[in-house]
Structure formats: C-alpha cells, structure tokens
Amino acid sequence: METFWETFKRHGVSRRDFLKFATTVTGMMGLAPSMVPTVVRAMETKPRVPVIWIHGLECTCCSESFIRSATPLASDVVLSMISLEYDDTLSAAAGEPLEEHRKRIIKEYWGNYILAVEGNPPLGEDGMYCIVGGKPFLENLKESAEGAKAVIAWGSCASWGCVQAAKPNPTTAVPVDKVITNKPIIKVPGCPPIAEVMTGVVMYMVLFDRIPPLDSQGRPKMFYGNRIHDTCYRRAFFNAGQFVERFDDDNAKKGWCLYKVGCRGPTTYNQCGSIRWYNGLSYPIQAGHGCIGCAEKDFWDNGPFYERLTNIPVPKQEASADKVGAVAAAAAVGGAVVHGVLSKVRNSGKKEE
C-alpha cells in the first residue's frame, strides 16, 4: 500500500500543508513538539494500515462521534490514513459480498490489520442476542480477532460493558477483553469517546506501528490520565465553595460548580475538560449539566446521576451512605445509653458471696 505522503501528493496536498498537518496531529496525540520530525518521517515511510471495524451490541454512538472528528477530519482518517476495509454499519447496503470481503482481508493481511470493535458480545443464549450477517456477533468477533495485530475496544460497551451490561444484564453482555484474551487490547472508553481521542489512537498506532502507552486499566495514558475535575474550567468555583444547588437557581446561571447536583467529574478519567467536543466547542459541564461519568466502569449502576452519593438499598426508602451512617451512629449512642443503665442496675448492690 502507498504511504501517507504519497496519498497526500496524489490528492494535490502541498508539502507545507502536509507538514502543518503532521504538526497538528503530533499535538493531538499528546506528543511533545520535538516529536514532529518523527511523525513526519513516519508519514513518509509507513504504509496505510487495513482496519476492520465491527459492530456488536451497541448504539453506534462511537461511529457517530468518530465521523465528527475535526482534527484530523474523519474523512481524512478513513480515506487517507487508514484503509477502512470493512464497516458493516457504513456499508450495510453492500450485503453478502461485504462479509466475503472481510474474510478475504483477514486472510490477505493476516497479523497486520487492526480490529476495531464497537459494542460488545452478549454471551447469553450462545450469543443469539446479537446477530450480524446471520451469525452471532460472538463468532464474528472471535474470527476477526484471530489474525489481528491489535484490537481497539471503542467506547464503554467494548471497554466495560456499558448500558447493556448494567444490572441485571439480561443478555450477559461482556466487554471485549473477556472474550479476546490473546491480543493487545486498547480500551477507549466513553459513551461515546471523544472523536479526537478516537482518531488520535488510530493515528498513533498507524504512525508508530505500536500500541500507545496504556495505564493499568488498558487505556491510552495520554487521553485517560486526568480526571475531568482536574482539568475542568469550573474547578475554581469548586475550590471556592461556590456550588449550584438546583438546576434552576441563580448559581447555575452564574456557571458555578455542579458538584452538588451530582457531577461525576471528580471520579471520571477523560479528556472532556481539555479537548472538549465538536472541535473544542463545548462539553457537558460547559453546557450546564454535570458529568455522568460515561467513561467509567459501571457508570450506569452508580446512580442516581443527580446525587453525590449512591443510595444504599434500605427497604421502602431512599437513603445515602451518610444518612445510613448517621442513623447507625445515633442507634449506637442510644444503645449505649440503654445498655449503660441496664449495666448499672445489674451491677448495683453487693456481690453475692
């Protein structure tokens, strides 16, 4: 396959624009400016990489996010940086021959293609809850992963399980790493992940021919190293103790911190605070709604979204950890007083000799 530079030349892109593009891309990947020459060199020499993109149990929000990437444009990524060979959602109209094409690519580029998985496999009823091309997605996934160089787990579905794996998980949906255990897996959680994060991960893998540095949870460090809280532009309001109490109060209008209305920024690792969404236009907190922690494991079960603390299952009541704790402590005090009186009575008088 031709290299990026060759592809760019073929499309009439000037050397100057090519260098500008390489510089932007370096920044987007979280690399130091000193890495620009390395990126340029990689773009001049590395051939494009075939990618198979499969969809399991999911809502396609990852694809929706991906096609809105602005730096680089998703169209650039799809058309010139990678060679997207198979995507059943984008080419659904192609029908049967597309499935044949997937098999051909797997055989032809054995050990060299990247498998991108959006959504996850449900294991219940032998995988019958998710059928793609007449076969359970579980089989598709295993078959496609067999010859892959690496697997990208797009979104919270493929990384953690997300909504369909929330309690009680009727279809036994599991994250990709529960099924594919013999391949390097890059988790890119988020519901959906930020578009620039997705393209950044793809570019890193394509340009450097290796997987990006991962944290202990298998997520790329450069994108999931920080909490949203620690990069949030409203952090000053948090430190100053200026909080929104209700969504319709004056403080909300002033743009104060959403901590008390359940914002999950302090417990969520993602780049929303710095890269933001839609070409840096905004992100949930900027729009006035707290973060719901969609990039975190089991975020769906850690509700309610508008409370700081989860409810503890107390019969017929809603009770937070602090309420239950206060009641238990009060009960301990009461019990102590009663026990104390009884002890005094029991020990009164003289010892029977």
Partner 1 sequence: MRVESAKKIYIFSPALRLWHWVNFLTIITLFATGLYIGSPFFQGPTGVEATYAYEEGITMGFIRKVHFMAGYILLASFIFRVLISLVSKRDRLVIPTFWRKDYWIGLKEITLKYLLFMRDDEGHEYIRNACARTVYPLVYLAILFMIVTGFGMYGMSNPEGFWASLFGWVVWFLGGEFPTHMWHHWIAWLIIIFAVLHVYFVVREEAIKKNGELSSMFNGYKFFKKEPIDMNDIK
Residues engaged in binding partner 1 (CB under 8 A): 215-217, 221, 225-227, 230, 236-243, 251, 256, 259-260, 264, 266-269, 293, 296-299, 302, 308-310, 321-322, 324-326, 328-329, 332-333, 336, 339-340, 342-344, 346-347, 351
The residue (of 281 and 342) whose beta carbon lies closer to partner 1 is 342
Beta carbons of 196 and 189 less than 8 angstroms apart = no
The residue (of 121 and 265) whose beta carbon lies closer to partner 1 is 265
CA distances 278 to 61, 221, 293, Å, are 14, 22, 19
Give the helix/strand (H/E) hosting 86: strand 82-87
Sequence-distant (≥ 6) Cβ neighbours of residue 207 within 8 angstroms: 25, 39, 42, 43, 46
Question: Least CB distance from residue 186 to partner 1, whole Å?
Answer: 17
Question: Least CB distance from residue 258 to partner 1, whole Å?
Answer: 12
Question: Least CB distance from residue 329 to partner 1, whole Å?
Answer: 5
Residue the block writes with tokens 């680089």: 72
The residue (of 314 and 328) whose beta carbon lies closer to partner 1 is 328
CA distances 323 to 267, 317, 329, 331, Å, are 21, 11, 10, 12
Question: Least CB distance from residue 9 to partner 1, whole Å?
Answer: 40
The residue (of 279 and 310) whose beta carbon lies closer to partner 1 is 310
CA distance 106 to 85: 10
Joined together, the tokens standing for residue 333 give: 């005090």
Question: Least CB distance from residue 197 to partner 1, whole Å?
Answer: 16
The residue (of 5 and 259) whose beta carbon lies closer to partner 1 is 259
CA distance 292 to 303: 9
The residue (of 237 and 283) whose beta carbon lies closer to partner 1 is 237
Question: Least CB distance from residue 248 to partner 1, whole Å?
Answer: 17
Amino acid (1-letter code) at residue 19:
L
